[in-house]
Amino acid sequence: MQMAPMILTLPWGVALIVMPVVGALACYLFRRAAKPLGLMTVTVTALSAAGLALRTTRADSYHHAVGGWGAPLGIELYADGLSVLMLVATAIVACAISFYAARFFDDKEQARFWPLWLLLLTAMNALFLSRDLFNMYVALELTGLAAVALTALTGSQDALSGAIRYLLATMLGSLAYLLGVVFIYHGYGTLDLAMLGQLVESNPVTWLALGLVSAGLALKTALFPLHFWLPPAHASATPPVSAALSALVVKTAFYVLLRFWLEIFPSEGAAPAQLFGLLGCAAVFWGGVQALRARRLKLLIAYSTVMQIGYLFIAFPLGILLAWHGALYLLLSHALAKAAMFLAAGNVLYYGGHDRIADLDHVAQRLPLTVAAFALAGVSIMGLPPSGGFVAKWLLIQASLDTGQWWWTVPILAGSLVAAAYVFKVVGFAFTQAEAPQEAKLVPVSMQWTALVLAVAAIALGLIAPWTLTWLDVGDPFSGAVSR
Amino acid sequence: MNALLPYTLTGVGLFCLGLHALLTHPHLLRKILAVNVMGSGVFLILVALAKRSDSPVPDPVPQALVITGIVVAVAATALALNLLLGLAASSGKAELAEDLDE
Amino acid sequence: METLTELQWIFDVLTGCGLLWLAWSCLSSRNLHRAVVQFVSFGLLMSLAWVRLEAPDIALAEAAIGAGLTGALLMASLARLPLSGSADIRALKSAERIAGARLLQLLRNSLLFAFALFIIYAIFFLPPEFSGLREEVATEIENAGVRNPVTAVLLNFRGYDTFLELLVLLGALFGVRIVGMQPVRTSMTSEPVLNILASLLTPILILVAAYLLWIGTDGAGGAFQAGAVLGAGGVLLLLAGWRPARALMASPFRSLVLLGPLAFVFVAVLPLLSGRALLQYPPDSAGTLIVLLEIAATLSIGLTLCALFLNVSADDGEQP
């Protein structure tokens, strides 16, 4: 077919960055048409993600030298299977959140929401397509700034407080990362990650640089004990924003760390990997306990994010391809499931005006779709078959048995039990009657359906695992870490 | 090693001073000042280390990166100050509450 | 000339010590007003350091943005904060009397000190002969369209980073909210010296901005420095009490502010249509394109910085 090769050559990667920017500028300029412009932009961006995905399955990885200058002088856009999956997941979650937000906010908030949201989307897409260290710094800063501004959208005291704590934490993380990049540049003379992978040697400069980069990114991805900023920020932000923060924004820093690790760390030995694994376990434990103790729904979901991020770091000491597949699968299914949970919480909030777990008044009867969404998302978070979460944990357990480090299965299994406990707690209260009846506001149907669709997608991710995993390996992103 | 050493060490000192102040002082304006000082430290180290070789032409890439960094820092500072003012207006204090309830 | 080099070295050491002392004094000062003033002085001394490090572009940017505009933002915010700021130093001292807190503090300080030592240790392992990306830039500079290598890097080789950076500024503008109902001092407008100064300096600042923009292609200067000076002119006008007409605040302001990013998008996407890469300038017209982009960027940056200042200093829904 003549059309197919032409579609493949279109610059999809560029579109993924340019489309949301143009949308953001348009939404700022034409305030009154912000909602339709925003929805259109997100849809077009999602189509570009699909186009890029199609291209990488047919051809190999995607390269684009911006300005015509290749690395190391210029900046190159690059997408392999890992980038494409992140981009597609971002596109799906972004679409759902956008349609939800279109009904959730009032008109004044819409005008403020769309430009920032589209700018955030641009930043994340630019980050997933980047391989230049300083370019990633600027993209991380743009992501952080837009995310902070969105956190503060409602202007409530809690939101402002959470936002400023988030801003300071993210700035500290970025500066630590930047200092690490400074030493990498002066040690090796390049800012391109792929070139760096070939040049790197083990010496104090490298240790310092990688230590700084890891510390900065660990802070930005809320790894225990540097997670302190996440619960207040994610719990006090408005639900569509919380969904974006937990599902997508925290993962951006993890993505950068993963890229560093896969290109450079393998020459560094096992000690940092074990440290990451231990901190991951601590995160699973701490996040789980705090989630059980939480009395508000959004805070519970935020602590659940802290817990799930801990799982991602357990893949580091395992180090084989299976482990990376497991971690990535967890990342993807968590993105879908966590967004679904926050949107469901948003429905509960919209309906009753509060999110106190103990006072969920017959929500199961009034908002069946919402409770179903929360329950299905919970299935993935718990790791029950056939969800994406189950596939992820299965792969991780398999990896720990294969490498002989069977002790890592303990936090994985224990974490699932704790997750089951807090999911059932919420669902249980959803069937009860509150002490004092509350006024109910009708929840728009589109809001209920977007939450459910995301939750179903998290389950479906488990069913399409074989195809997704082959896709993940396009361009061999994990070759660096596996050849040990 | 001409202008290299004094400014590099200064940069390291600024980064650590800023970090100490960020962790110690509860007042948010001081934290914002601290982050700016840390940023200046990082930029100093980046450019000062580039003078290791005695070439007459300085390396332009670190300088371009620092200019970008300065602009990013002012944008973040402006947003931080705005959030700070909002928080102070609604809570009457310019510090973060230490307890996270529930 | 040995004495000259030694003198330079002493100067550098003194400047470095001065920077460290100013930073320490600023961060531990009891009075917040004094802290902010010291921060501005710190920024100005930094400009001197940049000159010594042969980075005039950074010196200009630091003076205008780092010391000037950041200082203005800080002072304007300080005027609207409820407390004087000395309260937290007193609270700090009383907390220190608890033994456990002192131990923790000691631990933290020693960790920081060890960290600083490790950085210094690592520095000695850096390769002594280092050219970075200087040679790559030197090879391609003729095709870049401008002679100032820093401008070439910012607007051509790594123009994509500059584009994202403009978006960061825009993000801050999108994110700032109309804040609180504190009354702002209107007596500022009746200051005769300030009025005269503003009317004299503003046209000069506009000229300086245009000059910096133009000279930036060959010597030190460029869009960011020019934009910052333009923003400074705007801040001066705002301080003298000038407020733009309501009609100007909506669409015209928004269109102008978006000019920089829009110009970038346009120039970036155009080459794609003729089969080239994103942001790839044709070598003959590279210079012209860069100047056009810089003009658009200067306007955007100046307006954005101005608006950010207005937002921090004003009190009634004047945000566009």
Query: CA-CA distance, A307 to A328, in Å (whole number)?
Result: 15
A392 and A329 in contact (C-beta within 8 Å)?
Answer: yes
All partners of chain C with 3 or more CB pairs under 8 angstroms:
A, B
A65 and C277 in contact (C-beta within 8 Å)?
Answer: yes
**Cα end-to-end span (Å), chain B:** 56
Classify burial at A482, counting beta carbons within 10 Å of its beta carbon; exposed 0-12, middle 13-18, buried 19 or more: middle
Kindly determine whether residue A134 and residue B62, on different chains, have CB atoms separated by under 8 Å.
no
Q: What is the pLDDT of residues C219-237, one digit of tens each?
A: 888 899 999 999 999 998 8
**Cα end-to-end span (Å), chain A:** 43
Query: CA-CA distance, A26 to A22, in Å (whole number)?
Result: 6
Query: Is residue A337 situated within a structural domain?
Result: yes
Query: CA-CA distance, C82 to C50, in Å (whole number)?
Result: 36
Kindly determine whether residue C81 and residue B29, on different chains, have CB atoms separated by under 8 Å.
yes
**What pLDDT was estimated at residue C142?**
82
- Find chain A residues with C-beta within 8 A of B31's C-beta: 168
CA angle A184, A190, A193 (to 5 degrees): 80
Query: CA-CA distance, A171 to A185, in Å (whole number)?
Result: 21
Please name the member of C23, C162, C222 whose beta carbon is closest to the beta carbon of B17. C23
Query: Is residue A365 situated within a structural domain?
Result: yes
Which residue in B42, B61, B84 has the most chain C C-beta atoms within 10 A of its own C-beta, making it the best mutation to test that interface?
B61
* DSSP notation for A13-58: HHHHHHHHHHHHHHHHHSGGGHHHHHHHHHHHHHHHHHHHHHHHHH
Query: Is residue A432 situated within a structural domain?
Result: yes
Question: For A356, phi and psi rounded to 5 degrees?
Answer: -75, 125
Query: CA-CA distance, C191 to C193, in Å (whole number)?
Result: 6
- Find chain C residues with C-beta within 8 A of A126's C-beta: 164
Query: CA-CA distance, A22 to C266, in Å (whole number)?
Result: 10
Count of structural domains, chain B = 1
Q: What SS3 class is residue A474? A: coil
Is 0.90 surpassed by the pTM of this model? yes
Query: Is residue B100 situated within a structural domain?
Result: no
The H or E element that residue A62 is part of is strand A62-66
Kindly determine whether residue A149 and residue B96, on different chains, have CB atoms separated by under 8 Å.
no
**Please, which pLDDT band fits residue B1 given cuts at 50, 70 and 90?**
very low
Reply yes or no on whether the pLDDT at C50 is more than 60.
Answer: yes
| Chain C nearest C-alpha distance from B101 (Å) | 22
A283 and A309 in contact (C-beta within 8 Å)?
Answer: yes
C99 part of contact set with chain B, CB < 8 Å: no
Query: Is residue A311 situated within a structural domain?
Result: yes
Q: What is the pLDDT of residues C242-287, one digit of tens each?
A: 777 666 667 788 888 999 999 999 999 988 888 888 888 888 888 8
Query: CA-CA distance, A187 to A213, in Å (whole number)?
Result: 14
Query: Is residue B101 situated within a structural domain?
Result: no
Query: Is residue B98 situated within a structural domain?
Result: no
Reply yes or no on whether the pLDDT at C180 is more than 70.
Answer: no
Query: CA-CA distance, A16 to A56, in Å (whole number)?
Result: 14
Query: CA-CA distance, A249 to A20, in Å (whole number)?
Result: 16
For tokens 């929500």, the residue is A363
Alpha carbons within 13 angstroms on the beta-carbon side of residue A68 total 17
Query: CA-CA distance, C136 to C138, in Å (whole number)?
Result: 5
- Cα A76 to chain centroid, rounded: 23
Q: Cα–Cα distances in Å, from C29 out to A272, B12, B99, C39, C42?
A: 39, 21, 27, 11, 14
Question: What domain range includes position B26?
Answer: 2-91
Query: CA-CA distance, A290 to A333, in Å (whole number)?
Result: 22
The one-digit pLDDT tens for each residue of chain A (484 residues) are 455 666 667 888 899 999 999 999 999 999 888 999 999 999 999 999 999 988 888 777 888 888 888 878 889 999 988 999 999 999 999 999 999 999 999 888 898 999 999 999 999 999 999 999 999 999 999 999 999 999 999 989 999 999 999 999 999 999 999 999 999 999 998 899 988 888 888 888 988 999 999 999 999 999 989 999 999 999 999 999 999 999 999 999 999 999 998 888 665 567 888 899 999 999 999 999 999 999 999 999 999 999 999 999 999 988 888 899 999 999 999 999 999 999 999 998 888 888 888 878 777 778 888 899 999 999 999 999 889 999 999 999 999 999 888 889 999 999 999 999 999 999 888 887 766 666 677 788 888 899 999 999 999 999 998 888 888 888 777 776 554 3
Burial C103-124 (b: 16+ CB within 10 A, else e): eeeeeeeeebeebbeebeebbe
Kindly determine whether residue B75 and residue A157, on different chains, have CB atoms separated by under 8 Å.
no
For tokens 């990688």, the residue is A210
Question: What domain range includes position A440?
Answer: 294-484
**What pLDDT was estimated at residue A469?**
87
Reply yes or no on whether the pLDDT at C317 is more than 60.
Answer: no
**What pLDDT was estimated at residue A436?**
66
Question: For A77, phi and psi rounded to 5 degrees?
Answer: -90, 140
Reply yes or no on whether the pLDDT at C320 is more than 50.
Answer: no
Reply yes or no on whether the pLDDT at B95 is more than 80.
Answer: no
Q: Cα–Cα distances in Å, from C212 out to C83, C156, C165, C203?
A: 40, 18, 20, 14
Q: What is the pLDDT of residues C98-151, one digit of tens each?
A: 666 788 888 889 999 999 999 989 888 888 777 778 888 888 888 888 889 999
Among B37, B42, B35, CA closest to B79: B35
Token pair recorded at residue A470: 């082959």
Q: Cα–Cα distances in Å, from B73 out to B13, B32, B57, C54, C319?
A: 19, 10, 27, 22, 22
Among A375, A394, A348, A400, CA closest to A452: A375
Query: CA-CA distance, C98 to C168, in Å (whole number)?
Result: 43
Count of structural domains, chain A = 1
Query: CA-CA distance, A78 to C95, in Å (whole number)?
Result: 52
**Please, which pLDDT band fits residue B101 given cuts at 50, 70 and 90?**
very low
DSSP state of A118: H
- Find chain A residues with C-beta within 8 A of C175's C-beta: 116, 145-146, 148-150, 152
Among A101, A108, A145, CA closest to A123: A145
At CB < 8 Å, which residues of chain A contact B? 134, 138, 141, 145, 148-149, 152, 155-157, 160-161, 163-165, 167-168, 171-172, 175, 178-179, 182, 185-186, 191, 231-232, 293-296, 299
**What pLDDT was estimated at residue C83?**
61
**What pLDDT was estimated at residue C139?**
85
Question: For C309, phi and psi rounded to 5 degrees?
Answer: -65, -45
Classify burial at A456, counting beta carbons within 10 Å of its beta carbon; exposed 0-12, middle 13-18, buried 19 or more: middle
Token pair recorded at residue A84: 């494409």
Reply yes or no on whether the pLDDT at C70 is more than 80.
Answer: yes
**What pLDDT was estimated at residue C187?**
45
All partners of chain B with 3 or more CB pairs under 8 angstroms:
A, C
Q: What is the mean pLDDT of chain C?
A: 85
Bond preceding residue C149 cis, omega within 30 of 0: no
Residue B47 belongs to domain with CATH number: 1.10.287.3510
Question: For A63, phi and psi rounded to 5 degrees?
Answer: -125, 140
What ipTM goes with this model? 0.94
Please name the member of B9, B50, B68 whose beta carbon is closest to the beta carbon of C161. B68
Q: Which of residues 250-269 of C touch A (CB under 8 A)?
A: 251, 254-255, 258, 261-262, 265, 268-269
Kindly determine whether residue A164 and residue B76, on different chains, have CB atoms separated by under 8 Å.
no
**What pLDDT was estimated at residue A478?**
79
